[in-house]
Amino acid sequence: MAQLEEGTYFEKERDKLSREITSGFEELLSTTNGLNRKLEEVLGMTREYETIAALWLCFHDLMKQSDLPEGNTTMEEKPPGLPGTGGHVLK
């Protein structure tokens, strides 16, 4: 009879440990899924930033071209001006 009780105790402990392991794996799976969602969000934001950066680069290039004096094609040919004044030159 004592052997039956020990077997029962062993089975109870085994089942308890199995439940703890199962719970740990479920928690790990849930956490991993959350991490994957966050990584997908970060990658999506990175793509958005690349699009915005490309748009600003186009805008910058366009503004740089429209800010050149008549007939000039490079910024080096433009006379120096006061920063923040749109190229205003004091005489």
pTM of this prediction exceeds 0.85:
no
Helix, strand, or coil (residue 13): helix
Domain ranges of the chain: 2-77
Tokens standing for 25?
């794996």
pLDDT tens, residue by residue, 15-64 = 999 999 999 999 999 999 999 999 999 888 887 788 888 888 888 888 88
Q: Could you tell me the CA-to-CA distances from 38 to 28, 30, 80, 82, 85 in Å, in that order?
A: 15, 13, 48, 46, 44
pLDDT tens, residue by residue, 63-77 = 887 766 665 555 555
Query: What is the torsion angle, in degrees rounded to the nearest 10, for the CA atoms of residue 44, residue 48, residue 51 and residue 53?
Result: -120
H-state helical runs in the chain: 2-66
Give, as one character, the DSSP assignment of residue 89.
-
